[in-house]
Amino acid sequence: MKNKFILLIFSVFFFLTTNAQCAMCRAVLESGEDQSAAEGINDGIMFLMAVPYILVAALGYIIYRKYSKPDKSENFEAKL
């Protein structure tokens, strides 16, 4: 459990320091003087990339919760 937590923390910090621009976007944005536009594009790409992962994780959690609950009918029959 401790190894999984360390891996999760490492992944989060590694994710925060990555650049998400493609080669074409980087070439166009580096040629300009204003770097705030490049940072804005990079943040937008990171946001668009993170949303599907969050949705899949939420769906997986919902499915896990649904199938990990004990069946009430089995508990009722065991008491009889």
Q: So what's the pLDDT on residue 64?
A: 92
Q: So what's the pLDDT on residue 75?
A: 57
SS3 assignment, position 11: helix
pLDDT tens digit sequence for 5-64:
888 887 777 665 555 566 777 677 777 777 777 778 778 888 888 889 999 999 999 999
Q: Could you tell me the pLDDT band of residue 76, with boundaries at 50, 70 and 90?
A: low
pLDDT tens digit sequence for 36-52:
777 787 788 888 888 89
Q: So what's the pLDDT on residue 53?
A: 92
